[in-house]
Amino acid sequence: MTIMFVCTGNTCRSPMAEALAEDYFEKKSPGGYEFFSRGVSADSSSRASKNAAAVMEDIYEIDISGHMSRQVTGEDVSAADLILTMTEAQKSRLAGAYPQARDKIHTLREFTGGAGDISDPFGRSYGEYKKCAKMILHCVKKIKPRSEQA
């Protein structure tokens, strides 16, 4: 199964989600899943934000410092079996742009049994990034049972 995580600029939430999912699923189900991340308004010259990289390294021992942001494309949408956005607005934007993929686009929290958006920590404190990563990991740990039923 190929899962694409989507946020706004592909510098904070979606790269953290991609890295956390890769780390978690590699330990739980090696080879069963592929992950990648994109942004709905990404600048291809941007790296992972400083605080996102710091939180991932300090707390999860995952290096995302080499991550470069990428814009969602039609090829990405086709390649993904499941598309998980960080907000309802991103979900709506993708569903509008790619109506053929509407059934595979969900917010991360809705797909994992929660509600609401995962707030954007961009430009905020290290502590806000830490809270965001914790929420993302909480959701990532719930992906497997739901995706296997889909």
Q: Catalytic positions, please?
A: 7, 13, 120
Please state the φ and ψ torsions of residue 123, each to the nearest 5 degrees: 80, 5
**Tokens at 52, concatenated:** 């996102």
Residue type for position 85:
T
Kindly report the number of other CB atoms within 10 A of residue 140's CB atom.
25
To which H or E segment does residue 59 belong?
helix 50-60
**Tokens at 15, concatenated:** 């790269």
